Amino acid sequence: MQQNSLMKSTLVYCILFVAAAMSVMLYYAATKTVGVTDLAQDEVVSSPPSGETAPVTPTQENEISINRAEKNTNYFCVPMPEGVKAEEVVLENHYMDKELWVGIGSARAQDYEDFYKTNSVYGNCNNVTDGRFELEEERICLRFALTGVYEYRSIFEDQTLYVEFVPSKEVYEKIIVIDPAYGGDERGVTVDRVMSKDITLDIAKALKTMFDESDIKVYYTRMDDNNPSSADRVDLAMETKADMLIRIEVSGDENSKLYGTSAVYNSKYFIPGFGNVELADLLEREVVTSISGKAGGLIESEPSDEVLGSATVPAAAIRVGYLTNSQEAILLQREDYIKRIAEGIYNAVVKAYEQREK
């Protein structure tokens, strides 16, 4: 009897404890929200500055003023309009443009325009060159130009977004750059309205699906129909300290009977251990195996190849087939064939890391 009474008392105390804990959690969530997309849990070094320091006057109507005098925190601080919640804030890493976009989605987005005309960003602004805001459909987007390519740790607290800029290698152990060739006005080999630029982009998108489930961080030089300069493509690998750069190309020739997969490398830049030729060899072998195709061999890059010629990390281009060959052209338009090409590239990267670790 006494034992039953003790058990009931214990149960009551447990229920009361859980209820109290839930109340504290709900109060904390209501008063101190932390929950920005891809947010890394961290602590703010210091509190926001007081209103005593005069803001920097913007020179353009949509420019965000930057108060570089207020440096009492290690974070780049973006004040948020009253009522904005953490779940309405999205950070976008536009690394090819070296920009951080902070999107605030709300039906009240138009009301926030005046807020950013009169409120400055502040804190550690060393990595920020300028800022501007743009009104979009149901959101306002704050666009900050940066000095380089970074990853971010962020906190939303006390109506302020705190952002820490972090070099890629401090966040990811394994980093590669995938470079879908061509884009924009540069279509590559084109046959009957089938363009190489679309094929390389489709392969990159298939690769993204695979790499997103892995422990390998991938930066893509393009994921739409634009055409970054050769310098920008190479610069991405340099900025992120990538372990390798893989370019995706499509072949073409006046001889329509030519077909097969080949890989291109720069023999003039030697990297001890695992370098350009080793990467090219892996790419060719794995893609050919994946598609059950014909190996076209390894090819030395031309002096005019600015991407492979300038890269100082292991770099190679995989030429996935001839668009000028009628049979291969049909294959290169098939979704399942694109996926198999991507699987070959993915397998080559995995084996490349295995070789590097030996």
| Domain parsing of the chain, residue ranges | 34-166, 170-357
Say yes or no to pLDDT of 106 above 90: no
Which residues, including other chains, have CB under 8 Å from residue 130's CB and lie 6 or more apart? 63, 64, 66, 144, 145
Distance of CA 19 to the CA centre of its chain: 42
Instruction: Please state the CATH superfamily assignment of the domain spanning residues 170-357 in this structure.
Output: Zn-dependent exopeptidases (3.40.630.40)
Supply the pTM of this predicted model: 0.83
**Is 170-357 the same fold as 34-166?**
no
Query: pLDDT tens across 41-83, in order?
Result: 223 333 333 344 444 444 567 999 999 987 778 999 999 999 9
**Rounded to 5 degrees, what angle do the CA atoms 286, 217, 246 make?**
40
Distances in Å between the Cα of 117 and the Cα atoms of 51, 53, 160 are 15, 16, 16
Distance CA(212)–CA(215), nearest Å, equals: 8
Over residues 21-28, the mean pLDDT reads 41
Q: Enter the CATH code of domain 34-166.
A: 2.60.40
pLDDT computed for residue 13 by the predictor: 54
**Helices 276-291 and 335-357, axial angle in degrees (round to 10):** 140
Pick the closest to residue 155 from 49, 72, 66, 76 (CA basis): 76
Q: What is the pLDDT of residue 29?
A: 36
Mean pLDDT on 216-235:
97
